[in-house]
Chain A
C-alpha cells in the first residue's frame, strides 16, 4: 500500500454512516495501522448530509483527507454519492449504494432527484472502478433495513482485498470481531450475516 489508505464515507443522517466509520477505524487499529477518523456532529440530525473520513497508514497525520486524495469512496446514498464525488482521487475505488432518500428541497422547489443514468455517468467520469450495490434491498431481505451499512462494509472488505489496497494483514476475523464489538449484543448475529452477505457481492 501507499503510505496511507483514505476512506470517505458519505450518506444521510440515520443510515449508520458514523457507525460504519467507527467500525472501519477500529479495524484499521486492530490490523496494526495508525488510524484516524473525522466527522462533524451537531446539525446532522435525521435527514442531514453526513460525511466521515477514515485513514489508515504506517503514519497518519491529518484526520481529514484532502480533496483529490480519497482512495476508497463509500456512498450510502445516490444523491450524496454525487455531492462528494469531486473529492475522490481519479480512478478511486467507489462503492455506491443504490438507495435513494429524497431531500426536503424536492418538495419546496422545482429541483428533481438525479436519475440513475446521470449518477452512473458522473461516477464513470471520476472512476471506472465503481461497484453499485442494492444494499437497502439486501438488508430488507435479511429482515432489517438498518444493516445496509454493514452490508456495504462487507463489500468494501472484499473489494480492498481483491484490489490489494492493503498489505494483506487484514483477516476476516479482524472485521467480524470489530462488528461484534461495535453493535449491540442482540444484533451481532444479524450484522455478521449482513457483513458476510456484503462480501458475496462481486
Chain B
C-alpha cells in the first residue's frame, strides 16, 4: 500500500515496522509529530518525557532490557541529552537503540541552527540522513539493524524539510520480534561506566568506528549516480534533492550515512570526475572530511553556510561559481510591492499569557524569558519587556546570575508549565539554595502550547491518553523552599498586578503561578464569547492596541475630536478573555454578561 506521509510520519511508521517497543521524546519543532504518530500504533509504548535527557535515558534503559527503543528530539534537545547520548555510545545496548535529531536549518522555530552531524562524529556513532519520506521510513528500519550489528546507538538526523515534507511511501508490515522480556543484563564491565570499566570500552569504540566505516563502503544508501565526468557532486539529506534537480547531468555521490564516511568510495568518485563539489546544508561537515583525505574539493566557497538551501539558492550559487552556464539563471517576476505590514507570530486571541505580559510592561521590569509561546511577548513599542531568551529553562538561572552580579533592577523570570518541568526546576532550586530575590512567574496554560498541544506532567494525561497524576506547581514550589507563592487565574489582572508589585519589593525568592487553559484547547474553546466595542464611548486612545491582540482592529470610524481611528473587535476571532475590557479607561469594551459560573463567565 502506498500512502502520502510526512518525514515524521514515515519515521514513526518505520519505527513501528522495525518492532520498536519503547519510545520517549520531548516535543520540539520539527520533531514533534514523530511520537504523536507512533503513539497511535498498536503494541508500542510511547511517552512524553519531561526533557530530552530523560527521554534518551528511558530509551537506553529499554534497549539495555533487550527491546528496540528510540528517543526523538529537535536538534537543541540533543544538547540537553548529550550526557546520556555519550555514555550510550560507550556502552552500546542489548537491542537496537536509535536517537533521532530533527535539525532546523533556517531556524523556522528554533534559537540556533546547529548541525548535529557533529554529535555523531563526537560520539563515534553512525549518522543516517534520509532524503525523502520513503527513505525516512526505510532508513529508520536500517538504523535499528545497524545499531544491533555494531552494538552502537545510531543517530538518525532529519531536517525540517524532511520532517515536514510529504511524499509517497510504500508501507510494510511490522517485524515479528519475540515478545518475552530478557533478563536484565548482568554485565557490569559493559554497563557500569566507572573509569575502570569505561577506559577499556574506549578502544572498542574506536575499533567499532573502523568497522562501521568499512561497512559504509557497501551500505546501500551510499550510492553513486553516474553522469558527466566534468562535475561530481557529493551530497546528503534534502540537499540531494536540490542537487539532483539543479544538476540533472552531473555525477552524484549521495551519502545516506554521513558518519563515518566511506573513504574508498569517495576517493574513487573523486578520481572519476574533473571538479568535485559538496552540496550540504549548514556546516562543511562532509567537505572538511573529504579535504582531510587530501582530496581537492569545493563546497562552502560556493554555497552558503548559513540558513537552509533550496533549489534556487543552489542554482544561482552554481551559476555564480561557473558550475552552470549563465543561461541556467531563473528570472524572477518584476514586482515591487513596497514595504508590506508584517504578520509575525503573536499571542493568539484569548491567550492567557497576554494579561501577565501587559502588566509586566506596565511595571517596566526587565524580564528574562524562556522558550515557548510566551517568548512572543507583546510586539508593541515599549510593550516587549522580555530582554533575554536563550534556551529551555534558561530564564530563571539568568535572572539569578544578573541578581548576583549586583544588578539593582528587580529580576523576573517568566517560564511556561512544560518548560518549568523541563529544566526550570533545578534553576529554581538554585535561586532558593543560593538566596536570590528572583521573581519567577510560571505561566501555566495546562498544556505544552507552542508545539501544538502536547500533554505534560501537569496535565493529568499521558501521550497515549492514559489518566495519570497531575503534578501541581504550588505544593512543588513550596517544597523547594519558596515562601512567597501564589496561584492566580490568568485573567485576574488586578490580582496579578498587586502580587507582582508585592513580590518585586521582596529580598527573597517568590513564585507567581498564573493559571488558565490555552484558549485553543477544547476546554478553552467552549468558553469563547466575543466582546464588542461601544463605538460612542471609544475615543481612539489606542491603549487596547497595546495588548497586540489579533482580534482588535483599527476601525474606519474616526473619533470626532481627536481624529484617531476607534477600536473594533473582530467577533470571528475574539474569545472574550476581557483583557482589553479590563484596561479600557473609558469602559468602551463590553464585558461578558454575568453568567452561571459553570459556563465559564466571570462577573
Contacts and interface: CB of A to CB of B under 8 A. Distances in A.
Given A103-B343, A107-B554, A108-B379, A37 B161 contact: no
B592 interface: no
Q: Please classify how large the interface on chain B is, using the bins under 10, 10 to 19, 20 to 34, 35 or more.
A: 35 or more
Nearest to B544: A107
Interface in B573-588: 573
Contact of B450 (A38, A42, A111): A42
B311 A69 contact: yes
A114 B337 CA distance: 9
Given A43-B108, A108-B381, A109-B341, A34 B336 contact: no
Contacts of A85: 333, 335, 337
Interface stretch (B200-208, B408-416, B545-553): B545-553
A97 to B, nearest CB: 15
B165 A66 contact: no
Nearest to B548: A104
Given A39-B164, A122-B335, A127-B333, A108 B109 contact: no
A126 B348 contact: no
A83 B337 contact: yes
B348 A104 contact: no
A62 B348 CA distance: 33
Contacts of B552: 107
A38 B29 CA distance: 15
A63 B165 contact: yes
Contacts of B2: 29
B242 A62 contact: yes
Nearest to B552: A107
Contacts of A42: 29-30, 108-109, 450-451
Given A82-B337, A104-B548, A90 B331 contact: yes
A65 B344 CA distance: 23
B331 A68 contact: yes
A48 B336 CA distance: 23
Contacts of A103: 341-343, 550
B238 A66 contact: no
A117 to B, nearest CB: 13
Contacts of A186: none
A35 B343 contact: no
Nearest to A60: B167
Nearest to B133: A36
Contacts of B341: 79, 103, 105-106, 109, 111-113
Given A25-B4, A86-B335, A106-B554, A41 B311 contact: no
A69 B331 CA distance: 9
Nearest to A119: B337
B335 A46 contact: no
A45 B161 CA distance: 19
B312 to A, nearest CB: 3
B241 interface: yes
Contacts of A113: 341
B348 A45 contact: yes
Interface in A54-85: 60-69, 79-80, 82-83, 85
A29 to B, nearest CB: 6
Contacts of B570: 102
B330 A41 contact: no
Contacts of B346: 47-48, 104
Contacts of B451: 42
A143 B581 CA distance: 31
Interface string B161-202: 100111110000000000000000000000000000000000
Contact of B333 (A63, A126, A145): A126
Nearest to B519: A46
Nearest to A82: B337
A40 interface: yes
B520 interface: yes
Nearest to B315: A66
A61, A82, A83 — which one has the most chain B CB atoms within 10 A of its CB?
A61
Contacts of A151: none
Contacts of B381: 108
B310 interface: yes
A111 B341 CA distance: 6
Contacts of A49: 343
A108 B545 contact: yes
B165 A122 contact: no
A149 interface: no
A145 B573 CA distance: 13
A87 B313 CA distance: 13
Contact of A126 (B242, B330, B335, B344): B335
B599 to A, nearest CB: 23
Interface of B: 2, 4, 29-30, 32-33, 108-109, 132, 160-161, 164-168, 238, 241-242, 244-245, 310-313, 315, 330-337, 339-346, 348-349, 373, 379-381, 383, 450-452, 520, 542, 545-546, 548-550, 552-554, 570, 572-573
Given A47-B343, A104-B346, 8 more contacts: A34-B168, A37-B167, A41-B33, A42-B109, A47-B348, A102-B554, A103-B550, A106-B553
The 9 closest A-B pairs by CB, nearest first: A42-B109, A66-B312, A66-B311, A42-B29, A63-B165, A126-B333, A107-B545, A68-B330, A61-B245
